[in-house]
Amino acid sequence: MSDDISQAFDHPEARAKATADDPRDRISLRDHVIEVDIGAFQDERGRRQRVRFNLVVEVRPHDAARTDDVDKILSYDTLTDAIGLELSAERVNLLETLAERIADRILAEPQAMRCFVRIEKLDRGPGALGVEIVRSASHLPRLPQEMQRDGAPHPRVVYLSNAAIASDRLAGWLDGLADRGPVVLCVGAPDLPRPHSAAAPAQRRIDLLAIEQNAWVLAGRDRRCVVVASRTELDWAMRNGQVTVWAPSKIVLDAVEAPPPGPVDPLALVQWFAATMHAAELVVVGEVPVHGAPVPTRVLEIGAERLA
């Protein structure tokens, strides 16, 4: 085994000593066991066997620990998702092939610098039979940003007016959406007076916070509605079948191409969000959206029986 791989899977104290001249932060996934149909031999086909994955990824410097910002890190979900996506893409014969594809997928993320992958078959012999590789991002072409999230769900974004939030039909609407893929609920500001600022950026923050207050109102109406603020949380929730309510401040304020400063038009904001999320559809309940929606849009009355 090479020194690099030995250091990757050794105790962190030993790795720190071995890489003292070039210290890097690492995240890891250890002893992740999945039953997989894999192998080149005929008696392996059509039979699932236990395969153990260990991944270590060296990441670029960041200040996430200081700022406590989840969107600045390489999420642990990236590691498990890389495994799951490659296993679901097609059946492979070789562990070497699977290891290469997992490493390439992880290294497509901008935070990743080097990736150590160990994959072992647990049911093919008296011990664990496996392969270990190390790959660097330096020799890979940088994928466009939209491709770095390959495999991310395309949600149905549903905008609920205040009348819709208060409607007795809310629980039934959520029942109908539950089995139709990932759903992100969005709301506008509550029908209450709020402070006004002469500074456009300040007013935008006030308006965004008002929307977030209303998101918590919706969450209080049904326990299935979970308020989330970051893209990392949204991606995880969508992949795990959780109904989410978007709290917009973080994503809007962090966006490179955000809506303009000043008073926030909630429906225009939701259309921007739907485009950002590459939504499959935008459903607007109880209001009429502005023209030029960037994704397919349906408008429903409060009296609609179903949203799906």
Taking only the tens place, the pLDDT of each residue in 61-107 is 887 778 788 887 888 999 999 999 999 888 888 999 999 999 999 99
Task: Report pLDDT digits (tens) over 9-52.
Answer: 665 556 555 665 667 888 999 999 999 989 888 788 778 999 99
DSSP letters, 250-306, are HHHHH-TTPPPSSS--HHHHHHHHHHHTT-SEEEEESS-PPS--SS-EEEE-TT-S-
Residue 242 has pLDDT above 90, yes or no: no
pLDDT at 148: 42
Q: How far is CA 265 from CA 271, 273, 304, in A?
A: 10, 12, 24
State how far the Cα of 272 lies from the Cα of 284, in Å rounded to an integer: 14
For the stretch 200-211, pLDDT in tens is 888 888 999 999
pLDDT the model gives residue 295:
86
Residues 177 and 143 in one domain: no
The pLDDT of 144-173, averaged and rounded, is 78
Percent pLDDT > 70 in the chain is 86
Q: What's the whole-model pTM score?
A: 0.71
Do 130 and 161 belong together in one domain? Answer: no
Query: Starting from the edge strand earliest in sequence, which strands make up the sheet with 129-136, in order?
Result: 25-36, 49-59, 112-121, 129-136
Last residue of a domain, one of 119, 148, 177: 148
> 167 with 94, same domain?
no
Any domain includes 306: no
Residues 113, 170 share a domain: no
pLDDT at 156 over 80: yes
Same domain, 160 and 31: no
Q: In whole numbers, what is the pLDDT of the chain averaged over residues?
A: 85
Residue 122: pLDDT band (50, 70, 90) is very high
Number of domains in the chain: 2
In this predicted model, what pLDDT tens digit does every residue of 268-283 receive, in sequence order?
999 999 998 989 999 9
Side chain identity at 20, as an amino acid letter?
A: A
Same domain, 169 and 95: no
Q: What is the CATH number of the domain that holds 279?
A: 3.40.1160.10
Tell me, yes or no, whether 308 lies in a domain.
Answer: no
Same domain, 87 and 198: no
Q: Compute the average pLDDT of residues 241-259.
A: 85
User: 204 and 114, same structural domain?
Assistant: no
Phi, psi angles (nearest 5°) of residue 281: -165, 150
Any domain includes 101: yes
At 21 the pLDDT is 65
Q: Are residues 63 and 13 in the same domain?
A: yes
Q: Name the token pair of 44.
A: 């392996």
- Residues 135 and 36 placed together within one structural domain of the fold: yes
What pLDDT is stored for residue 235 in this prediction? 87
Residues 78 and 160 in one domain: no
Which of 148, 165, 194 is the C-terminal boundary of a domain?
148
In a domain, 221, yes or no: yes
Left if phi > 0, otherwise alpha if psi is -120 to 50, otherwise beta: which for 272? Answer: alpha
Q: What is the CATH number of the domain that holds 27?
A: 3.30.1130.10
Domain range enclosing 21: 3-148
On whether both 166 and 289 belong to a single domain, the answer is yes
